[in-house]
Amino acid sequence: MSGPTSIFLAGVNPALCRVAGELADGFFVHPFHSLRYLREVVIPELQEGMRRAGRPEGAVQVAVTALTHTSPEEAAFVRQQIAFYASTPSYRPVLALHGWQDVGQQLSTLASHGRWAEMAAWVSDEMLEAFSTRASPADLPLVLRERYEGVAQRLALYLPFSGGGVLDPWAQLIEVIHA
């Protein structure tokens, strides 16, 4: 491959979204996001950055890393990841959009005391639904496509993977997303 290297920025908060809109070829959306946060904050701020810089709409590719789960065991893993991210003060705007900033405060306190095992219990089912995609392995490709179509041009999965040569679900996922 030859040609110019694409520059992507990564972030969560509005200011970095605007900077990416002004300067970057793409923006990596943090796994700790909701579809609402993408539509109401990330995309509008990217567009504002592009507008400020006189760039055409669509000049910045949106690459999403999506938290996904296809079983109760994976859901437990994702709940723990959400708790970890939600404990980070700089990610508080994502929680605030949904009115969950108090949960973030509690998770920050637990994290500061090393009480990691207790944190997942603070992630409600509503939060799990907002910040991750749940589907059966067979339905996951279509659910992801429906969820992110029109919002993201690239998709990476944050899905627990056990290995062992199990390629069929991954091949099916890629086939459906590319259809």
In this predicted model, what pLDDT tens digit does every residue of 24-71 receive, in sequence order?
999 999 999 999 999 999 999 999 999 999 999 899 999 999 999 988
Confirm whether 140 is domain-assigned. yes
| Weakest-pLDDT range from 4-13, 20-29, 137-146, 163-172 | 163-172
Do the domain assignments include residue 74? Answer: yes
The pLDDT score that the predictor gives to residue 161 is 58
Q: What is the mean pLDDT of residues 9-28?
A: 95
Which helix (H) or strand (E) is 106 found in, with range? helix 101-112
With beta carbons less than 8 A apart as the criterion, state whether 98 and 36 touch. yes
Using DSSP, state whether 11 is helix, strand or coil. strand
**Residue 2 — very low, low, confident or very high, per pLDDT cuts 50/70/90?**
low
pLDDT of residue 177: 64
pLDDT tens per residue, range 60-113: 999 999 999 988 999 999 999 999 999 999 999 999 999 999 999 999 999 999
Report which of 140, 12, 18 is spatially closest to residue 85, judged by C-alpha positions: 12
Q: Residue 41 and residue 4: Cα distance in Å, rounded?
A: 29
Q: Taking the CA atoms of the chain, what radius of gyration do you get in angstroms? A: 17
The domain that holds 70 is classified in CATH as 3.20.20.30
Question: Range of 125's domain?
Answer: 8-178
N-term to C-term CA, the chain? 25
Question: How far apart are the C-alpha atoms of 162 and 169, rounded to whole Å?
Answer: 12
Separation CA 86–CA 101 (nearest Å): 9
2 lies in some domain: no
